[in-house]
Copies of this chain bind each other. A is one copy, B any other.
Amino acid sequence: MALYSSMSKTQLEEEYEVLRQAYENYKAEGHNLNMARGKPGAEQLALSTDMLNVLTPDSVFKTEDNPDVRNYGGLAGIIEAKRLFADLMEVSPENVFVGGNSSLNMMFDTIACLCEQLWKGQENLKFLCPAPGYDRHFGVTEYFGFELITVPMTENGPDMDVVEKLVAEDASIKGIWIVPKYSNPQGITCSDETVRRFAALKPAAKDFRIMWDNAYIVHDINDTPDKLLNIFDEVKKTGNEDMVFEFCSTSKITFPGAGVAALAASENNLKLLTKRYQFQTISHDKLNMLRHVQYFGDLNGLLNHMQKHRAILQPRFERVLSILDNDLAGSGVAEWTKPNGGYFISVDVLPGTAKKVVDLCKQAGVVLTGAGATFPYGKDPADKNIRIAPTYPSLEELEKAMEIFCVCAKMAAAEALIGA
């Protein structure tokens, strides 16, 4: 494909006309396609429905540390669930707190707790937001009044030169969000060096915290999965055990919204959280914890289950990447990531055209995550990043949606270059 930036104005206008006709044809087809959110598709949801048969009236509801999981009690979760999540996160069960159905809710509660206790009385606080990143992370700290500071992402994770400098200089910076493995949306995994530099941070704020959202901890999609260093092993070496909260959940393992979430933290941090949780609730849903524990048996059972997700997701990611390759490679109007796991493909279109692309797609019946959503305050300074979520549509729908997306990306680029 010809490089758009090398085309003459006439060539671009011809190209635009061809694209416009293709676009009008797609519009006329009346599509209703969605690549907006990282939602598992119908096939994936069906993978875990057997879990609904695990508990029956004849089940034994007594667990090692609970006389009856149907009753109140057990604030930090049943020990069997702690062990499963401990194996998953490679930490000790005593460092695990098992919660409700949403790791986002646990992160929200953690930030609330830190605001109410650790950071109480301090004002004009700031939070580091590696971007492109997860909009809901940024939203939590925005709700609690933090100023959001963008940190650029590199292929090895957040730019640690920037992170180290900022946290060393400014004591009002209280923490950083990060999806360390298969980041949302780029699918980047922090390199060993990045993890070690996280662990070795020397923040001016002694109450600085890393929100280590390991959302895609076992969510590989091919034969060359990324490996992430265990952050807790590293902070033990640097004496920074209290600097990290790690989160994960089964939302994208069993059911989004009916899974189980958990966190791992140091003894001090668990004490801090418990000071709040003891007033907040009596216990989370232990029946659902037991359901999960019995369904998987152990970590191996869970990992085997992930192979079934991979079998569904791998072809989708491959299809998206092959359409991007076919339709955009060589045009110079877009760059994209090729992740080994996670839920997204991140596409950088021609700077200044992302909003336009999303809008063109919308008019043709393809819903994408809003342009800018992957940046703090929803503002992408270069207006170029678009998050593609390939999991929810069927393979056929995905194909059509991606074809339309590519046409829109090229149309917006051609239009911009003609006007330039």
| A residues adjacent to B (C-beta < 8 A) | 37, 39-40, 42, 45-46, 48-50, 52-53, 55-57, 59, 61, 68-74, 100-102, 104-105, 108-109, 112, 116, 136, 139-140, 142-144, 251, 255-258, 276, 278-288
State the majority secondary structure of interface residues on A.
loop
- B286 & A71 in contact (Cβ 8 Å cutoff): no
Contact among B55, B139, B251, B258 with A287 in the assembled complex (CB-CB below 8 Å): B258
Residues of chain B within 8 A of A104, CB atoms compared: 280-282
- A257 & B283 in contact (Cβ 8 Å cutoff): yes
- Knowing A53-B56, A68-B42, the reply to whether A257 touches B279 (Cβ < 8 A) is no
- A255-B287, A257-B283, A288-B288 given. 7 additional CB < 8 A pairs? A52-B56, A52-B57, A72-B251, A72-B257, A108-B281, A140-B280, A257-B282
- B100 & A101 in contact (Cβ 8 Å cutoff): yes
Residues of chain B within 8 A of A255, CB atoms compared: 70-71, 287
Residue of B nearest to A66 (CB): B257
Residues of chain B within 8 A of A72, CB atoms compared: 37, 39, 251, 256-257
Contact among B57, B112, B136 with A50 in the assembled complex (CB-CB below 8 Å): B57
Please provide the 4 A-B residue pairs with the shortest distance between their CB atoms, ordered closest to farther.
A49-B57, A258-B287, A105-B281, A143-B279
Min Cβ gap A378→B in Å is 13
Min Cβ gap A137→B in Å is 10
Residue of B nearest to A72 (CB): B256
Q: How far is the CA of A52 from the CA of B279 in the complex (A)?
A: 29
- Knowing A57-B53, A71-B256, A71-B257, the reply to whether A280 touches B101 (Cβ < 8 A) is no
- A280 & B105 in contact (Cβ 8 Å cutoff): yes
Min Cβ gap A359→B in Å is 24
Min Cβ gap A252→B in Å is 10
Residues of chain B within 8 A of A56, CB atoms compared: 49, 52-53
- A73 & B284 in contact (Cβ 8 Å cutoff): no
